Amino acid sequence: MNLAVIGSGGREHALCYKLKQSPKLKKLICIPGNAGTQKIAKNIEEDISNFDALYKIIKNQNIDLVIIGPEQPLVDGLFDYLNKKNIKVFGPNKFASQLEGSKAFMKNLCKKNNIPTANFGTFNNLKNASDFIRKNGAPIVVKADGLASGKGVSICNSTSEAIIKAKEVLKGKFKSSSTVVLENFLRGEELSYFVIVDENSYKFFGSAQDHKKVGEGDVGPNTGGMGAYSPTPLLTKKLEIKINKKIIEPTLKAMKKLGHPYKGFLYAGLMINKGEPYLIEYNIRMGDPECQVLMMRLKTDLLEIIDLITKNKIKDLKIEWTKKNSITIVLCARGYPFNHIKNREIRNLLKILPDKKNQIFHAGTYKKNNKIYSVGGRVLNVTCVSKNLGEARRNCLAIIKKINWTDGFYRKDIGWRLINKK
Ligand code: AMP
Ligand code: GLY
């Protein structure tokens, strides 16, 4: 099969890495990709919001199946656009993508179907939003309704701060929507829970915990994710059953009832409190960096899985995972998650040889004159798998030392919840 992966992050490099192992794969292209995907796929530079241009590439390259990595093209309807042109695509359609693209849509769906989530209100004017904030008190969570690259959520410890943040959203700080969603603050431990879904059934597709805050000890501003690990003992069999029965199944049923059965990866961001799951958010894609650790643990052929999903035949496939522990540490450019430095050479990278247990998944990198440069905020994902999580982390840290990139920084404490216990 000839495949095209859309995107340029660590998630897409990890997907390409796993797809490349499939005996069914003939050709792999990545649009636009990064310096990492370039080693295993053919990168084709294109603006992924230009659907006509993407279609031309897909036709010219004789692509049989397109896998869309990031949320923005899904929310903008790339599935629907390509599907209309008879191109086979893996991912949800535009309507179903509202599960991530509109927090108001997701929260209303939860309310209608009794899916456990924080109490909330959605508002288009400051007076009503302020009344809700005063009535509910702090801490309170203020969210932009639409996509905001992980920057649209503020956890406010005072009502006055919440009113300021709500005002910013209502005034259009985030281009995707000026509706504000206000939520009660949930306490507990976060879990990233994944399923892969076709029109007839769904399968567990791994779990992980990530570290969203930029600083060690989980402090400072939120980021796209500074590191992740999998598996996690937080997910017990009992909890998994609860998540499926109370959250995943009612959601899939509701989407079907709305006339848009969900298809693709579905990522539930959950808060676990006293053994009970609460939905914080849905993402309509794999997590980044969670995908990196999961692709190191997946034993089943990913292309086979995705091919069966597009045919609505996933039901009979057993998806297998190694029990070993995987961890990824994200190497970021200085300044991230704010204005970060760009176009800095990363030396030594080409000297480090990956193997089945140790991979460096690229994110914001490019290659020029046989040298690798940084361009994004999150630049590399050093990812290791081992019987022991502590050892996996030590191996990651040893690789990062070899890279020795003074323009970057990373957290040394990824996985602290588990590693410090040992
Ligand atoms: P979201 O983009 O909705 O996932 O929010 C980003 C992060 O903000 C989550 O991963 C949580 O850490 C935090 N968060 C969002 N909503 C809540 C909530 N209602 N209670 C507590 N923390 C939250
Ligand atoms: N790791 C968080 C995300 O992918 O949204």
- Report the candidate in 186, 381, 215 with the shortest Cα–Cα distance to residue 294: 381
Residues 349 and 414 occupy one common structural domain: yes
> 149 C-alpha vs ligand 2 centroid, how far in Å?
10
Residue 143 near residue 159 (C-beta atoms within 8 A): no
What is the amino acid identity at position 360? I
Whether residue 112 is contained in a domain is answered as no
Give 317: exposed, middle or buried? Use CB within 10 Å, 0-12, 13-18, 19+: middle
Residue-wise pLDDT tens digits, 401-417: 999 899 999 999 999 99
Alpha-carbon separation of residue 283 from 129, 300, 338 (angstroms): 25, 23, 23
Report cis status (omega within 30 of 0) of the bond before 233.
Answer: no
* Digit-coded pLDDT (tens) for 32-45: 999 999 999 999 99
Residue 222, pLDDT score: 87
Q: What is the mean pLDDT of residues 148-177?
A: 92
Residue with CA closest to ligand 1 atom 4: 281
Q: How many domains does the chain have?
A: 4
Pair (289, 194) in one structural domain: yes
The 10 Å CB-count burial string (b at 16+, else e) for 214-229 is beeeeeeebbbbbbbb
Ligand 1, atom 1: nearest CA belongs to which residue? Answer: 281
**Are residues 144 and 241 both part of a single domain?**
no
143 C-alpha to ligand 2 centroid (Å): 16
Q: What is the pTM of this model?
A: 0.97
The CATH number of the domain holding residue 278 is 3.30.470.20
> Which residue, chain included where needed, has tokens 């490099």?
13
**Residues 169 and 251 grouped into a single domain:** no
Cβ of residue 287 lying under 6 Å from some atom of ligand 2? yes
Shared domain for 341 and 374, answered yes or no, is yes
Is 183 touching ligand 1 by the criterion CB < 6 Å?
yes
The predicted-structure confidence for 225-253, as pLDDT tens digits, reads as follows 999 999 999 999 999 999 999 999 999 99
363 and 265 share a domain?
Answer: no
Q: Give the model's pLDDT for residue 108.
A: 97
pLDDT at 421: 59
Tell me the residue range of the domain where 28 lies.
2-91
- Nearest atom (ligand 1) to Cα of 152: 2
Inside any domain, residue 66: yes
Identify the nearest ligand to the CA of 210 by its number.
2
- Gyration radius of the chain's alpha carbons: 21
Listed in sequence order, the DSSP H helices in 175-283 are 237-243, 249-257
234 and 200 co-located in one domain: yes
User: Is the CB of residue 5 below 6 angstroms from any atom belonging to ligand 1?
Assistant: no
* Residue 359, strand partner residues: 383
Nearest ligand, measured from the Cα of 139:
1
Query: Is the same domain home to 240 and 258?
Result: yes
154 in the same domain as 73: no
Q: How many separate helices (H) and strands (E) can be counted in the chain?
A: 15, 22
Residue-averaged pLDDT of the chain: 96
Place of tokens 């643990």: 297
Any idea what the CATH number is for the domain that residue 362 is in?
3.90.600.10
Residue 361 Cα, ligand 2 centroid: separation in angstroms? 16
With 0-12 CB in 10 A as exposed, 13-18 as middle and 19+ as buried, what is 141? buried
- Cβ-based neighbour number of residue 41 at 10 Å: 25
Please name the residue that has the structure tokens 């297998």.
320
102: in domain: no
150 band by pLDDT with thresholds 50, 70 and 90 = confident
* CATH number of the domain that residue 44 is part of: 3.40.50.20
Nearest to 268 by CA among 297, 253, 290: 290
Flag whether 63 is in a domain.
Answer: yes
Ligand 1 lined by 218 (C-beta under 6 Å):
no
369 token code pair: 């004159």
Tens of pLDDT, residue by residue over 259-284, are: 999 999 999 999 999 999 999 999 99
Say which residue the tokens 């991979």 belong to: 359
**Same domain? 312 vs 220:** yes
> What is the domain-level CATH number for residue 145?
3.30.1490.20
Question: In the predicted model, is pLDDT for residue 293 greater than 50?
Answer: yes
Whether the CB of 100 sits within 6 Å of ligand 2: no
Please report the pLDDT score of residue 422 as a whole number. Answer: 47
Residue nearest to atom 4 of ligand 2 (CA): 287
In a domain, 117, yes or no: no
Task: Report CA(155)–ligand 1 centroid distance (Å).
Answer: 8
Nearest CA to ligand 1 atom 8: 153
Asked whether residue 312 falls in the same domain as residue 205, the answer is yes
Q: Please give the distance, rounded to the nearest whole angstrom, from the Cα atom of residue 142 to the centre of ligand 1.
A: 9
Cα–Cα distance list, 263 to 63, 95, 243, 383 (Å): 20, 11, 18, 28
At residue 24, φ and ψ (nearest 5 deg) are -80, -10
Q: Are residues 336 and 401 in the same domain?
A: yes
Alpha carbons 223 and 291: distance in angstroms, whole number: 16
Q: Is the pLDDT of residue 89 over 60?
A: yes
Residue 99 lies in a domain: no
Taking only the tens place, the pLDDT of each residue in 186-210 is: 999 999 999 999 999 999 999 999 9
Question: Which residues make beta-bridge pairs with 374?
Answer: 365
pLDDT 10s digits, 295-354:
999 999 999 999 999 999 999 999 999 999 999 999 999 999 999 999 999 999 988 999
The stretch 80-95 carries a mean pLDDT of 98
Grouping H, G, I as helix, E, B as strand and the rest as coil, residue 44 is coil
Ligand 1: does its nearest atom lie under 6 Å from the Cβ of 181?
no
Ligand 2 centre distance from Cα of residue 62 (Å): 32
In a domain, residue 16? The reply is yes
Q: How far is CA 123 from CA 108, 140, 171, in A?
A: 13, 15, 12
The continuous run of DSSP H or E covering 104 comes out as: helix 103-112
115 to each of 183, 207, 323, how far by Cα in Å? 15, 20, 30
